[in-house]
Amino acid sequence: MKLASPPGTCAVRLQGCRRSFRTPDGGVYVALDRVDLEVRAGEFVALVGPTGCGKSTLLNLVAGLLPPDAGRVEVFGSPLEGINRRASYLFQQDVLLPWKTAEENVMLGLVFRRVPREEARRQARAWLERVGLRGFENRYPHQLSGGMRKRVALAQNLIVDPEILLMDEPFAALDVQTRQLMENDLLRIWQEERKTVLFVTHDLEEAIALSDRVVVLSAGPAARPVGEFPVDLPRPRDVTEVRLDPAFGELFRRIWDLLRGEVLRAFRLGP
């Protein structure tokens, strides 16, 4: 395994980033504007904001899938050009290849890196076991539950040993129990691997329970970070127990005061 980058260095830095889209009626919609954000190496940052404010767009900027119209994206100090090779991206949508088994899906990143098949297969099995899917190696995606598919996608992302892990509302579609299990699994793996994580969610409780720092994005158009809240709850955490901590409730109230205003604003402005 690669040595984690020295703590304290800046893994991701956005400076004055702006990104707009063409609207169907020929106009221009500015989704993000004047976005400044820093994520330190090894840090777990949660990004919250009202639906449609530009959270996925921000992740796409960091992933290098979208270029900013203005501003800079830096990854470990160098300007980002094209795809971010030091990051992996857990998408909100189901993106497993339906014609590949769980194992083949997980080993995909290694196949692209020209790792010999047998070695790739061995590592894929090990990762499937780590995300709790031992015995499901030969299932096709349609033979797995939604939660299991997310686990496969998580293993698919982690097997390439990325320094930065981008996650876009990965657990939003799961039922509460599955979700809490997966959140705990994610924390356990993060504790072992110390990846830099940028985790998008619209669920504030999830954001606090998982992260070191919660960043609140304003409502669009021209969304940008409007608040940052360090989360100094003890680690290792259990997401169900940490919610009972009085400090959790206190933090929740403080962040919610800010977030509620943005959510209401987004609701009034409409999509």
Partner 1 sequence: MRSGSVPEARWGLRATQAAVFVLLVAAWEVASRLRWLDPFFFSRPSSVAERVARWFASGEVYVHIYVTSLETLLAFLVGSLLGVGVGFAFALSPALSRVFDPYVKVANAMPRIVLAPIFTLWFGLGILSKVAFGVTLVFFVVFFNTYQGVREVDRNVLNNARMLGATDRDLLRHVLLPSALVWILSSLHTSVGLALVGAVVGEYLGSARGLGYLIHQAEALFDTTGVFAGLVVLAGFVLVVDLLVSSVERHLLRWKPPSHVEEAL
Ligand X SMILES: Nc1ncnc2c1ncn2[C@@H]1O[C@H](COP(=O)(O)OP(=O)(O)O)[C@@H](O)[C@H]1O
Separation CA 108–CA 184 (nearest Å): 25
List the structure tokens of 70. Answer: 């203005």
Separation CA 67–CA 223 (nearest Å): 17
Shortest spacing between CB 211 and ligand X, in angstroms: 17
Separation CA 186–CA 174 (nearest Å): 14
Number of helices and strands (H, E) in the chain?
9, 10
What residue 220 binds from Mg ion, partner 1, ligand X, none (CB within 5 to 8 A, per partner kind)?
Answer: ligand X
Q: Which residues of 234-244 are buried (b: 16+ CB within 10 A; e: fewer)?
A: eeebebeebbe
Shortest spacing between CB 138 and partner 1, in angstroms: 11
Distance of CA 259 to the CA centre of its chain: 19
- Phi first, then psi, for residue 254 (nearest 5°) are -65, -45
Residue 201 near Mg ion by CB under 5 A = no
Nearer to partner 1, 88 or 184 (CB): 88
Nearer to partner 1, 199 or 229 (CB): 199
Shortest spacing between CB 55 and ligand X, in angstroms: 3
What residue 31 binds from Mg ion, partner 1, ligand X, none (CB within 5 to 8 A, per partner kind)?
Answer: ligand X
What residue 21 binds from ligand X, partner 1, Mg ion, none (CB within 5 to 8 A, per partner kind)?
Answer: ligand X
The residue with tokens 């293993």 is 155
Shortest spacing between CB 9 and ligand X, in angstroms: 27
Residues that bind partner 1 in the complex, under the rule CB under 8 A: 63, 65, 83-85, 87-89, 91, 93, 95, 97-101, 108-109, 111-113, 140, 142-143, 156-157, 160
